[in-house]
Amino acid sequence: MYSIIMPAYNEADRIKAVLESYVAEFAGHELIVVCDGFDNTRRIVEEAAKGCPDIRILDFQERLGKGGAIIEGFKAAQGRRIGFADADESVSPRDLKNMFEQLDMFDGVIASRRLPTSQITIQQPLKRRLASKGFNLLVRTLFGLSFKDTQCGAKVFRREAIRDILGELETKGFEIDVEILWRMKKKGYCVVERPITWSHSSGSKFKLSHAYGMFLSLLKIRFKRPMRKRQP
């Protein structure tokens, strides 16, 4: 069984259609929707879950952030293979399923918009593309990650790899993608990028103003001093 985690912060305008697409593609698998907003998202997901036992709801009164929602989803996931996807369906359920199927060969597979064979049907605005490239350059330099695109919102992993790093995850925002990949690299897991068909969706919860906080958060974990063991 696969577990798909979907952070859903104020996604009432599109969550119903997105759930229908995912349920159709992933029948018999677990779809965990993490609700931490204040609109009607939870009510819509509850209605969808009445007719589909594959949908699970995790509801939180406080704002978790994308990272916090994914961490809570990881804790609850029951599948042998665990992934997450943005609620805007920029990456199609079909592409995500193909990524899951490649976990026979790898510990993790991440979607990438930057590979030559990826197809972009609707581009991001220029400012966001430039910011994304700059952020990726900083990440590659600071963390030694070779990925061309750490922030595309679809990633899948073997359960044992997630369980191995889960207790170490600290970041609560959009930077969670980088932390997951970095911690897996440190543990020696094999994670690869795969091309996708991707479409920019309006209404994204990420704003360019988040970038500064993301960078500071990543600096803290990158240069955090390890705890010294107390002498007996």
- Burial class, 141, CB count within 10 angstroms (exposed 0-12 / middle 13-18 / buried 19+): exposed
The reported pLDDT for the residue numbered 26 is 97
The reported pLDDT for the residue numbered 149 is 93
Amino acid at 90: S
Residues 7-30, mean pLDDT to the nearest whole number: 96
Which among 2, 32, 18 is positioned nearest to 109, based on CA atoms?
Answer: 2
From CA 139, how far away is CA 157, in angstroms rounded? 21
> Lowest mean pLDDT: which of 43-52, 105-114, 197-206?
197-206
Torsion of CA 5, 215, 171, 43, to 10 degrees: -40
Phi, psi of 41 (to 5 degrees): -55, -50
Residue bearing tokens 């509850």:
46
CB 152 within 8 A of CB 112: yes
Sign of CA dihedral 79, 85, 88, 94: negative
CB 156 within 8 A of CB 83: yes
Phi-psi region of 225 (alpha: psi -120 to 50; beta: other; left: phi over 0): beta
Residues 35-47, mean pLDDT to the nearest whole number: 95
Residues 28-40, mean pLDDT to the nearest whole number: 96
The reported pLDDT for the residue numbered 232 is 46
Q: Bigger pLDDT: 93 or 203?
A: 93
For the domain made up of 2-222, give the CATH fold: Spore Coat Polysaccharide Biosynthesis Protein SpsA; Chain A (3.90.550)
The reported pLDDT for the residue numbered 228 is 54
The reported pLDDT for the residue numbered 226 is 62
Please name the residues in contact with 231: beta carbons below 8 A apart, sequence gap of 6 or more.
none
Q: Is the pLDDT of residue 206 over 80?
A: no
The reported pLDDT for the residue numbered 107 is 98
The reported pLDDT for the residue numbered 80 is 98
- Describe the crossing of helices 93-101 and 15-25 by its angle, rounded to 10 degrees: 40
CB 110 within 8 A of CB 147: yes
Domain ranges of the chain: 2-222
From CA 138, how far away is CA 144, in angstroms rounded? 10
- The encoded tokens of residue 107 equal 């510990």
Q: Is the pLDDT of residue 135 over 80?
A: yes
